[in-house]
Structures are given as C-alpha cells and as structure tokens.
Amino acid sequence: MTEKPKLHILLCAPRGFCAGVVRAIDAVEQALRIYGAPVYVRHEIVHNKFVVEGLKAKGAIFVEELDEVPDTTKPVIFSAHGVPKSIPAEAQKRNIFAIDATCPLVTKVHREAELHFNNGRQVLLVGHAGHPEVVGTLGQLPEGSILLVQTPDEVATLKVKDENNLAYVTQTTLSVDDTKNMVEALTRRFPNIVGPHREDICYATTNRQEAVKRIAPIVDALLVVGSSNSSNSQRLREVAERSGCKLARLVLRADDVEWDLFSNISTLGITAGASAPEVLVEEIMAAFAERYDLEIETVSTADEGVFFPLPRELRKAAS
C-alpha cells in the first residue's frame, strides 16, 4: 500500500455560519414546522446553494419577487440580506403573512441611514452594486437621498447636494481593508462627513478575514468553502491573495476542488464563509484525507458567542 504524502491543514476559527445566518435558516425551518409546507422565501435565504437546496427539499419555495407568490395564508420570509421598504409595503397591500429574517446587523445599517436622512443629511452607501443587501439599503430612503459609491475613483468624481451635510454607511460583508480605503477617500474629499457610531462591517466578516490574514502568508494554498454569489466568501478569497497566499480558491463542495493544483502542497489553509455550513468543510477535509495523511491544526483569532433570537412572529407562534 502506497504511503500517502503528509499535509498540514491550518483550520481557521471562526469560520462558517454567523448568528444572522443561523437565525435566517432557523426561521425557515421553524416556519415549516409550525405552518407546514410550502413556505415561501423571497430570494435565497442566505447565499449558499447547498443550504438552499436543503431547504427546498423540506418544502421551502424560493422566489425572486412577491408577484411569484400565489394568494396564500402561508408565510413569506424575507432573506437575511434585507429588502427595500417597497417589499413589506407590497406584502401588506396583498395581505401576505410576511416574516422578516433580515440580519439584525443589516437592520442596524438601515436604521442608521434613516436617522441620517431624518437629520437632513444625504447618505453615501459603500458597497457592491446589485448585491441584495445593497439593493435593500438603497431602498430604505427616497431616490436621490442615498448614493452608492464603490471605489475611491467614484468618490473623487461624486456629485452631492451639500459637501458639508453628508453621512456614510457600508455594506456589512465588505473587505475590512477595502472599506478602510474607501472611508479614507470619503473623509479626504468630505472632511465633515459623519460615519457610523460603530462600524457597519459585521463582526463575523471581520473575524473571518482576520483568521485568513494570519494563516495566508504561511500556507502553500488556501480554500474558502462557500458559494460564488456569497460576498463575504469572495472577500475571504481576495484577502488570502492580498495577504500573500499564492493559491486561493473558492469552492462549494469537494467535487469543485481542482486536485491538480494541490498535488505538490505541504500546507493548506481552510476557512468557510459566513453562509457555509460546517458539513461542507468536513466533506472537503474528508476528500483531502483520502489523498493525504492529514495533520490538523486550528488557528483561532476570536471567540464568537453572538446569538440573535428568531423573528417575533415565529417566537409568538412557538410559545
């Protein structure tokens, strides 16, 4: 029997599910238990295809817009990314039983934006165009009251109503370093701009990026477990590359691993985006164990004890 080569795996901690993701998935599963299938979900509840397919198998029906939902007494759940104000208004107009599973940290950004608007400030949103969280935040205020900025170059050419009466908020899943550069660009151009009381990038995004920064310079390769449409997972891959890792890949399942690329490595870093379940990390490690003699070391940069309760409607129904 051929002896397998040795592989030292550095396992990032924390990794995988954050409190907002756990809450959103639990909301769908609890709604299915209480009300029975089907339960409708507007947009992917979290950005992970494995999770979404698992919930579909239990009776969840995913739609992109409310007009895809028939007249029904069944719940319609809004995803963790948040929705524009027009969506709950449409649901109310149709007497849809809506359950909002928006992450509380995204709701915090919505409230900040609204508070600035009520105080007469124009709001700048740092984020990625088209991401559901950004669409939801832009939709909290009247058109023109909140402007999206994505790059320092955009900041340099931005036209605002009053340079001395501005505030900014950010998408919660951005790169910490990219956001720092954006905030520096904003404060250089608009010295009187008002920022959040506490930064908007969520604790889970920050913690996962910090763990990657620690191991990226000392591994031959790094795998981020997550879906390609997951913002925080994509940022982890980028952070690994910027931190000195020559080979960083985003994979959802073991089948996605490009094994030829990993044939000559002796150290491998593994992390998972905030919407990726631990079972996928275990699946990928099992695939490596078939090919290598593994030595596993956990590298921890933070302890997470954050918990968010279920949406109020589900807590009441379960009590």
Within 13 A of 258's CA, how many CA atoms are on the CB side? Answer: 8
Distance of CA 95 to the CA centre of its chain: 30
How many CB atoms lie under 10 A from the CB of residue 313? 18
Within the chain, residue ranges assigned H as helices are: 19-35, 49-58, 86-93, 104-118, 132-138, 152-157, 176-189, 203-215, 231-242, 278-291, 312-318
Two structure tokens written together for 164: 């001395």
Helix (H, G, I), strand (E, B) or coil at 192: coil
| Active-site option among 29, 44, 112, 133 | 133
Nearest-10 crossing angle of helices 176-189, 231-242: 90
CA distances from 18 to 121, 147, 179, 259 (A): 32, 28, 20, 29
Nearest residue to 6 via CA among 256, 220, 253, 217: 220
d(CA 213, CA 88): 39
Helix (H, G, I), strand (E, B) or coil at 49: helix
Two structure tokens written together for 287: 């695939």
Does 44 participate in catalysis according to the annotation?
no
Catalytic annotation, residues: 133
